Amino acid sequence: MKAYAHPIEGTDPVEWCHEHKDTKPTEPEKSVTEIVTEPTELEKQRDDLYQYVAGKKGWTSTKPVRSWLVNACKIPEEKIDTDPQGTLKEVMALQGWSD
């Protein structure tokens, strides 16, 4: 419903009185599916980190990577989120990985 409405007393069948909005919307609202944002540079770097680690570990999914970094490598989540490239270098050194 876009405007307020109420039944008119004494009408049979019930009739409705409604107030129209005076202003027209300037732009239709976008649905959640229409809003697309590009990943930030940090998000791209973190995705690259996850892909690299998953590949090195032989995993088909990147889902376990974050947990592995935190629990097995003892890397703080804040570092993973704010410094993915530094995290990559640290993991490579810890694991003896090189490219």
Domains: count for the chain: 1
Residue 29 lies in a domain: no
Coil, strand, or helix at residue 18? strand
The pLDDT tens digits of the residues spanning 34-67 come to: 677 888 999 999 999 999 999 999 999 999 999 9
Show Cβ contacts of residue 42 under 8 Å, excluding neighbours closer than 6 positions.
81, 82, 84
For residue 62, being part of any structural domain is answered with yes
Residue 28, in any domain of the structure:
no
Domain assignment present for residue 47? The answer is yes
Lowest-confidence region among 33-37, 65-69, 84-88: 33-37
Range(s) of the domain holding residue 75: 41-95
- Is 17 a domain residue? no
Token duo for residue 57: 């570990």
What CA–CA distance (Å, rounded) separates 79 from 81? 5
Q: Identify whether 76 is part of a domain.
A: yes
Q: Is residue 32 part of a domain?
A: no
pTM surpassing 0.85? no
